Amino acid sequence: MSNVLISGASVAGPALAYWLRRHGMTPTIVERAPGIRPGGQAIDVRGVGLTVVDRMGLLDAIGDLRTHTTGMSFVDADGAELMRSTEETLTGGVVDNEDIEILKSDLSEVLYDATRDDVEHLFGDSIAGLTQDDEGVTVAFERGAGRRFDYVIGADGLHSTVRSLVFGPESQYLTHLDTYLAVFTVPNFLGLDRWQTFHQTEGGLAGVYTTRTNDEVRAFLGFESPLLDFDHRDLDQQRKLVADRFAGAGWQVPRLLAEMMRAPDFYFDAMGQIRMPTWSSGRVSLVGDAAYCGSPLSGQGTTMALVGAYVLAGEMAYGGGFAAYEQKMRGFVAANQDVALAASRSEERRIDPETMRRISNGITLPVY
């Protein structure tokens, strides 16, 4: 039985752990946060991603947590409505279809519940060093004692520690899409009912959308910018950066900025893609955003993570290995990244629904 260390407990990590355990391996997940991270934006499970979730027996559990958003509107600086649609939303696309829009933290909780009883979780720790040889990988942790594993998989996101340790600096692989996004929870002070409302500012976009039972909403503040130099772990610095960018904006932006300062689940990062010539080196490989982040603009990051975890586990278990995993995933990943990159450079900055449907089903899933 292969002992596999997985770095990251968001989506790709626990999905990979589920399938490795199903195939008779022994996965361990290490996660820097003290538990499943709260907050995060609404994400989408589409196409073959739904097939993977169904094969995990989690389709109903995830479907029960969908956002059920019914439409969106845009308003001016005074709050007067400029347009509305009950056919599509900015975060989820077409309203009436089989896709599942769900909060990232809700999906992570479902995946954690599916693995918590038979997968070891090391919360509050992180990988500090990796040393490979022909027999396995010796792992040094920031807090815990070092351990030995047969394989190590980085599922630790856009700013992957595993990728930096094994493949080199993030700057070698990052394609910046000239946009930054802050997401955080605020009270539903507008009284929205399964609805999204947005306001276009100079070089930016402010918005709110309901979550769960409408008692709270996710707010987001996005703006266009070249690559910025900031500390990814300094939340106060990030809050100030966002506040400076939206100073003087109208509508409910002053209220959102005030809520942002005290939001416990504040998140801020760039929209970017990770493009690598290979996702594996020796006994170490990458999956999900760590290997092939498509950016939130793609609308496919969650599906790529779920499919990648499924294929990687199957190939590790049945002889194809890392090379077969890459061979099966490359075309699917490239199609998703390319269409998102093209959208980022277009005036609309969106992918049309028909293209989204096509690329979300752009891989034939093996049965392992």
The verdict on residue 294 lying in a domain is yes
Tell me if 184 sits within 8 A of 259, measured CB to CB.
yes
The verdict on residue 368 lying in a domain is no
The pLDDT tens digits for 12-55 are 999 999 999 999 999 999 999 999 998 888 899 999 999 999 99
The verdict on residue 182 lying in a domain is no
SS (H, E, C) 260-316: HHHCCCCEEEEEEEECCCCCEECCEEECCHHHHCCCHHHCCHHHHHHHHHHHHHHHH
Q: What is the pTM of this model?
A: 0.94
Query: In terms of residue numbers, what domain contains 149?
Result: 3-58+104-171+273-360
The verdict on residue 204 lying in a domain is no
The verdict on residue 325 lying in a domain is yes
Residue found under tokens 């100079």: 202
The verdict on residue 248 lying in a domain is no
Residue by residue, pLDDT tens for the chain (368 residues) are: 699 999 999 999 999 999 999 999 999 999 999 999 988 888 999 999 999 999 999 999 999 998 889 999 999 999 999 999 999 888 877 787 889 999 999 999 999 999 999 999 999 999 999 999 999 999 999 999 999 999 999 999 999 999 999 999 999 999 999 999 999 999 999 999 999 999 999 889 999 999 877 878 999 999 999 999 899 889 999 999 999 999 999 999 999 999 999 999 999 999 999 999 999 999 999 999 999 999 988 889 999 999 999 999 999 999 899 999 999 999 999 999 999 898 888 777 778 878 888 999 999 999 99
The verdict on residue 139 lying in a domain is yes
Domains contained in the chain, number? 1
CATH number of the domain encompassing residue 307: 3.50.50.60
The verdict on residue 249 lying in a domain is no
The pLDDT tens digits for 99-122 are 999 999 999 999 999 999 999 999
